[in-house]
Amino acid sequence: MALIPNTFNGQVLKTVFSFAYNFALRSGEYTIPGRKTNTKTLKISNVYIFTSNNRNYIQLSLTFGKTNRFNKNEILTVECTCTLNLKIICPYHNYLYLIKFYQLHNMYSDDAYLFRWKNNHVISHYLISKYLFKLLFLLGIKRSPRIKLHGIRFGRITDLRVSGLPRWLIEKLARHSPNSRMTYYYTRLSSTEEAQFMTSYIKKYFK
């Protein structure tokens, strides 16, 4: 992420990639296929930040998705990783920085779309993919048909598996289909408790 400039559009990219990775999002959950938005396009109102026991958290609410057939409100929570000195791009602070840009340019409102360029256009799948390939090129990674935005989600799930996080929780956080070979688990843990449980594992893996 050090390759991304600290500009308005650069902060959009940082926040997009931090959300895509930490929340293990499918590309269709944070981009639009063309230029037109729809009822599934994320808005600022889908995000909630809070502090509990001196620990910062960011929540993302989704009422749509590949496996969310009944538009159930799914709450995903991630703990801020900055205070833990983990080598993970933090969605909490990147979101705060993005909101500052929106406020500075009079582009902030709860009903506004979450990820927009400086020209106020909502990010598209095509442009985010283009920037991903550009960043990988700068890192010396050649473009390949196998490299897709879905790899960000796959990377997050893989990291959680390697960290030793229990499989049932990974499957729940990744929102896998109940019709797949993986089982969808429901627990009595709150979304915040799930985030704390997840942090206890990843902080050992990423240090």
**Which of 97, 177, 46 shows the shortest CA–CA distance to 185?**
177
Q: What is the mean pLDDT of residues 65-72?
A: 61
d(CA 131, CA 16): 11
In sequence order, the β-bridge partners of residue 57 are 50, 79
pLDDT in tens, 165-186: 988 888 888 887 655 444 444 5
Distance of alpha carbon 56 from alpha carbon 116, whole angstroms: 25
Residue 64's pLDDT is 66
d(CA 135, CA 2): 10
**Pairwise CA distance, residues 127 & 109, whole Å:** 24
List, for residues 79-101, the tens digit of each pLDDT value.
Answer: 998 877 766 789 999 999 999 99
Whether the CB-CB separation of 43 and 112 falls below 8 Å is answered with: yes
Name beta bridge partners: 48. 59
Secondary structure class of 43 (helix, strand, coil): strand
Rg (CA), the chain: 17
State the pTM of this model.
0.87
